[in-house]
Amino acid sequence: MTERALERLAWLSLVVGLSASLLHIIAGAGAVGSFIYALAIAGVIASTVVSALKNQLDRRILVGFLVITAAIIVGQIFSAASRSAAQHLAAEIAFFVVQSTLVGGLLLVAQRRIGRDPLSILADASILSIGAWLIVWIAILQPLFDTSNNEPYVVTITGLTFALSAVVLFLLATLLFGDSENSAVVWLATCAILASLCGDALWALHDAEVAELSLALRNAPYVLALFAASATLLHPGIRHLTAQGSYQAARPIAGRLVVVISGLVVPIAIFALTDAQDTRDRVVRTISVLVLAGVVLLRVAMAVRANADLQAQLIQRAQTDALTGLPNRSLMLEHVDTALRTAWRDGRQPTILFIDVDRFKNINDSLGHAAGDDVLIAVATRLRTILSTRCVVGRIAGDEFVVLDPQTSGPAEAMVLADRVLESFHEPLALRQGDVFVSASIGVSTYRPSVTNSADDLLRHADTAMYRAKESGRNCVAIFDESMLASVTQRLAVETALYRALERRELRLVHQPIIDVGLGEVIGFEALMRWDRDDGSSISPAEFIPIAEETGTIVPIGAWALLEALTHLSEWIAGGVCPRDATMSVNVSPRQLSDPNFVNVVSEALIRAHIPARQLWLEVTEGVMIAQPDQALDALTKLCDLGVRVAIDDFGTGYSSLSLLQKFPIHCLKIDRSFISGVADNADSRSLVRTIIAMCESMGLDMVAEGVESVRQLQVLGEMRCAKAQGYLISHPVPPESIASTVATINDLGPWPRTRRPG
Ligand code: C2E
Ligand code: MG
Ligand code: MG
């Protein structure tokens, strides 16, 4: 039988159960009624067998079902209309067994499916069952003692059975209100249990002579319960009944609260509104109410405690860094605040060290994020071990740590502390991946009432000093002074203005002609950016380009410059200002090169300006090939495939690693101005330049001498067979509208007489 067929059979069983119980009421307790009842019991037995074979029924659940079925049969046999006291006792015991087995089974299911807070559920269950006991006592058992000729111990068992029914009801409720998603099989089981509890209630009302109910009516709910039990057994979902269900996103707390509160209020109300009949009644009531009060007190204490624990947990989580367990920014600020408030008392100057791990991004990129995390944990441990207990260590962001020493006597002691921390980085960090060396840049700020107004100030000043340490080449300490604030403010202003510069049309290009040294004719231009701010001031590219690079604004700005420069060239060619094959050199920053879209930007600019790719020179510095060799190689190769040519700018000032020339697709070296300026009268510079030129010639590379300022320099370069040159001697960078006249002037001069190549 397939799972689908079993599922259909399960739902069919439920529908048959509903019809059968109605039929049972109509037909009465006669032969038809007994037949239906027998059929229901047979159904449960058959379903148990099918389920054991097909649904791999959990053995404990199988046993539970067998016990319940057996107990129901016994109970039915002995609850015939005319029964002896012993038979009555046997029937009551049977029903007690049914309820206890149900409680056991539900606990088994609930234990796996409720999961996260079992104690509170047990406490709630106790409140509900004691409350139910009180109601049952007042409404059913006490009248039973008084009115019937039942033996007291039989009545006691009946009472216990009812108390258990209350627990069953509650466990069921907690199952339904618990964390787990409820499957169809849970609802089928719920239906079976509720129907049987309904039957119990009808029987009790009848027995207590509260209502005169026919046997058929009292047993009808049991018929439904038995068929629903069959449905539960047949449903294939029963295999997962005792498994942890998937958690519901939100716990329906409200339903549980309503059940527990009613379980508390209703019995208390009944207790208050009715009088005790005799001493036994008074004793039972008093004990029950006291126990109920005890459990409620316990429950309240548990709730208050759980709440306090939760709050402590939340505060802890909000104030510590999960990775290292160190205080986070907000807690550090509290510590600093406390230190500042008490500093005046003993004349101390609390100090903050702002520690940033150098090139942490490289560690993450090359060794992976897990290794990055390990480095941070190792740094945290290192800081904690080398610092005295009076210092507080915190991690306030990615690779930024803060040390607070609340008791330094002044800047001198602060520097000693900072040096100790810096030195501690000289030892390698032992990671799972092996030993790793990292260095740190440390900013120091010491409390001074004249400049430090708050904890935030002290932290910010240390941060500012840390940036200064980074700028000074990393792996060092910088101590905060007020002049740093001015430069930070200035830089921030530039950064903000730069974001808007492009759309405000504050940027423009100027062009410096590049000449063929032999012919003395302009053969190309270098585009250089200028920024004239709307307040009339100009900022030099040496200042704003690095900021644009750092903030990423260079990407859109650079793209604009590229298109603008090529458009200018296109106009000049069309206007006959320069030769058709004149070139345009555009400076490119590392950030642009690592932008995945850069190659597209270049090819689009070439297409839009109608300039052949080989007339575009991109100038890059050596640094980019050292820092991100793979990315740079990838981008440069793609650009070369387009036909674009690549020049190394400021050659000689960077790493000047000759292997770069082999590895990267490079077409030209631009010899840095610092060598050219010495070429006329410094023998060393001259021989260096001669060597570079020879190297270019033998490797088939083009060359441009940068920053030619004197006729003598140009003459020497000519003698050395340097192919191309640019510099103030030939022309300063000029705006596009002056290019025509500038080019004409240069070309009119013709070949520089004294630079003409000999022979
Ligand atoms: P660079 O690419 O090496 O540009 C040459 C710099 O030297 C220019 O400075 C130019 O004005 C200057 N120069 C040219 N001839 C002489 C000379 O005979 N004597 C002296 N003393 N200087 C001369 P500028 O325009 O201030 O640009 C500085 C740097 O800013 C450039 O160096 C380049 O690295 C960067 N830069 C300029 N424009 C751009 C751009 O559009 N994009 C990028 N990424 N960087 C740019
Ligand atoms: Mg350049
Ligand atoms: Mg240069």
Model confidence at 186: pLDDT above 90: no
Amino acid 277 reads Q
- pLDDT for 71-87, tens place per residue? 888 887 776 655 677 78
> For a pocket test of ligand 1, which of 506, 531, 545 has the largest count of ligand atoms closer than 8 A to its C-beta?
545
Q: How many whole angstroms separate alpha carbon 609 and alpha carbon 669?
A: 26
Strand partners, 620: 648
Structure tokens at 637: 């190769």
State the closest ligand 1 atom to the C-alpha of 672, by its place in the atom list counted from 1.
Answer: 3
Query: How many Cα atoms are found within 13 Å in the side-chain-facing hemisphere of 347?
Result: 1
Coarse DSSP helix, strand, coil percentages of the chain, rounded to the nearest 5 percent: 65, 10, 25
144-152: average pLDDT: 68
**477 contacts 444 by C-beta, under 8 angstroms:** yes
Q: With bands split at pLDDT 50, 70 and 90, how would you rate the model's confidence at 671?
A: very high
286-303: average pLDDT: 90
Amino acid 649 reads D
Ligand 1 pocket member 541 (CB < 6 A): yes
Q: Are residues 463 and 594 in the same domain?
A: no
Q: Are residues 379 and 286 in the same domain?
A: no
Q: How many whole angstroms separate alpha carbon 126 and alpha carbon 293?
A: 11
Looking at 421, 445, 480, the residue that finishes a domain is 480
Long-range contacts of 69-77 (CB under 8 A, 24+ apart): 69/41, 69/44, 69/45, 71/95, 71/97, 71/98, 71/101, 72/41, 72/98, 72/222, 72/226, 73/41, 76/37, 76/219
Least confident of 34-38, 140-144, 278-282, 371-375: 140-144
* Highest mean pLDDT pick, 162-171, 260-269, 634-643: 634-643
User: How big is the CA angle at 91 (ends 86 and 97), to the nearest 5 degrees?
Assistant: 125
Global pTM reads: 0.56
Give the model's pLDDT for residue 758.
42
CA quadruple 332, 335, 340, 344: dihedral, nearest 10? -150
In the reported structure, the alpha carbon of residue 588 is separated from the centroid of ligand 2 by a whole-number distance in angstroms of 8
Higher pLDDT, 654 or 309: 309
Residue 731: nearest ligand to its CA? 1
> Rg of the chain's alpha carbons, rounded to an integer?
45
State the closest ligand 1 atom to the C-alpha of 549, by its place in the atom list counted from 1.
Answer: 44
Give the model's pLDDT for residue 108.
78
Higher pLDDT, 674 or 208: 674
Q: Are residues 568 and 474 in the same domain?
A: no
- pLDDT for 495-551, tens place per residue? 889 989 988 999 999 999 999 999 999 999 999 999 999 888 899 999 899 899 988
* Largest Cα–Cα separation, the chain: 142
Give the model's pLDDT for residue 755.
46
Q: What is the mean pLDDT of the chain?
A: 87
Q: Are residues 600 and 734 in the same domain?
A: yes
Q: Are residues 37 and 71 in the same domain?
A: yes
State the closest ligand 1 atom to the C-alpha of 621, by its place in the atom list counted from 1.
Answer: 34
Q: Are residues 291 and 353 in the same domain?
A: no
Question: Is residue 265 domain-resident?
Answer: yes
Amino acid 65 reads F
Could you tell me how many residues make up the chain?
759
**736 contacts 509 by C-beta, under 8 angstroms:** yes
Q: How many whole angstroms separate alpha carbon 739 and alpha carbon 727?
A: 15
Spatial CA neighbour of 170 closest among 114, 96, 221: 114
Structure tokens at 216: 């058929």
Q: Are residues 265 and 349 in the same domain?
A: no
Q: What percent of the chain has pLDDT over 70?
A: 94
Q: Are residues 664 and 627 in the same domain?
A: yes
Return the DSSP state at 584: E
Q: How many whole angstroms separate alpha carbon 134 and alpha carbon 136?
A: 5
In the reported structure, the alpha carbon of residue 385 is separated from the centroid of ligand 2 by a whole-number distance in angstroms of 49
Looking at 446, 480, 514, the residue that finishes a domain is 480
CA-closest residue to ligand 1 atom 34: 587
Residue 685: CB atoms within 10 Å: 18
Amino acid 498 reads L
475-504: average pLDDT: 88
Question: Is residue 582 domain-resident?
Answer: yes
**669 contacts 648 by C-beta, under 8 angstroms:** yes
CA-closest residue to ligand 1 atom 16: 707
Structure tokens at 360: 């942490």
Q: Could you list which residues have their CB under 5 Å from ion ligand 2?
A: 587, 619, 649
Q: With bands split at pLDDT 50, 70 and 90, how would you rate the model's confidence at 1?
A: low
> Coil, helix or strand for 680?
coil
**207 contacts 143 by C-beta, under 8 angstroms:** no
141-163: average pLDDT: 74
Structure tokens at 368: 């992976």
> Counting beta carbons within 10 angstroms of the beta carbon of residue 696, is it exposed (0 to 12), middle (13 to 18) or buried (19 or more)?
buried
Ligand 1 pocket member 509 (CB < 6 A): no
Q: Are residues 234 and 364 in the same domain?
A: no
Ligand 1 pocket member 713 (CB < 6 A): no
Question: Is residue 486 domain-resident?
Answer: no
Phi/psi for 501 (5° steps) reads: -55, -40
**203 contacts 81 by C-beta, under 8 angstroms:** no
Q: Could you list which residues have their CB under 5 Å from ion ligand 3?
A: 649-650, 706
**512 contacts 732 by C-beta, under 8 angstroms:** yes
Q: What percent of the chain has pLDDT over 90?
A: 47
Structural domain count of the chain? 3
Question: Is residue 678 domain-resident?
Answer: yes
CA-closest residue to ligand 1 atom 2: 587
Q: Are residues 511 and 650 in the same domain?
A: yes
Residue 401: CB atoms within 10 Å: 26
Query: How many Cα atoms are found within 13 Å in the side-chain-facing hemisphere of 407?
Result: 7
Q: How many whole angstroms separate alpha carbon 490 and alpha carbon 487?
A: 5
Q: Are residues 370 and 429 in the same domain?
A: yes
Model confidence at 607: pLDDT above 80: yes
Please list, in sequence order, all residues whose beta carbon lies within 8 angstroms of the beta carbon of residue 119, skipping any fewer than 6 positions away: 302
In the reported structure, the alpha carbon of residue 617 is separated from the centroid of ligand 1 by a whole-number distance in angstroms of 15
**134 contacts 217 by C-beta, under 8 angstroms:** no
> For a pocket test of ligand 1, which of 529, 587, 713, 734 has the largest count of ligand atoms closer than 8 A to its C-beta?
587
> Counting beta carbons within 10 angstroms of the beta carbon of residue 531, is it exposed (0 to 12), middle (13 to 18) or buried (19 or more)?
buried
Model confidence at 243: pLDDT above 70: no
Residue 726: nearest ligand to its CA? 1
State the closest ligand 1 atom to the C-alpha of 541, by its place in the atom list counted from 1.
Answer: 30
Question: In which domain, by residue range, is 578 found?
Answer: 505-748
The CATH number given to whatever domain includes residue 469 is 3.30.70.270
Least confident of 276-280, 376-380, 596-600: 276-280
CA quadruple 158, 162, 167, 172: dihedral, nearest 10? 120
Model confidence at 241: pLDDT above 80: no
Phi/psi for 596 (5° steps) reads: -60, -20
Question: Is residue 56 domain-resident?
Answer: yes
Q: How many whole angstroms separate alpha carbon 587 and alpha carbon 160?
A: 91
Please list, in sequence order, all residues whose beta carbon lies within 8 angstroms of the beta carbon of residue 67, skipping any fewer than 6 positions away: 97, 101
In the reported structure, the alpha carbon of residue 528 is separated from the centroid of ligand 1 by a whole-number distance in angstroms of 6
Looking at 480, 495, 529, the residue that finishes a domain is 480
Q: Are residues 430 and 474 in the same domain?
A: yes
Model confidence at 152: pLDDT above 80: no
Question: Is residue 706 domain-resident?
Answer: yes
Q: With bands split at pLDDT 50, 70 and 90, how would you rate the model's confidence at 339?
A: very high
Question: Is residue 754 domain-resident?
Answer: no
Give the model's pLDDT for residue 199.
86
User: How big is the CA angle at 327 (ends 457 and 379), to the nearest 5 degrees?
Assistant: 100
Amino acid 543 reads E
Higher pLDDT, 118 or 674: 674
> For a pocket test of ligand 1, which of 506, 511, 515, 528 has the largest count of ligand atoms closer than 8 A to its C-beta?
528
Give the model's pLDDT for residue 562.
97
Spatial CA neighbour of 536 closest among 506, 570, 576, 513: 506
The CATH number given to whatever domain includes residue 606 is 3.20.20.450
Ligand 1 pocket member 540 (CB < 6 A): yes
Question: Is residue 757 domain-resident?
Answer: no
224-245: average pLDDT: 83
Give the model's pLDDT for residue 109.
77
> Counting beta carbons within 10 angstroms of the beta carbon of residue 32, is it exposed (0 to 12), middle (13 to 18) or buried (19 or more)?
middle
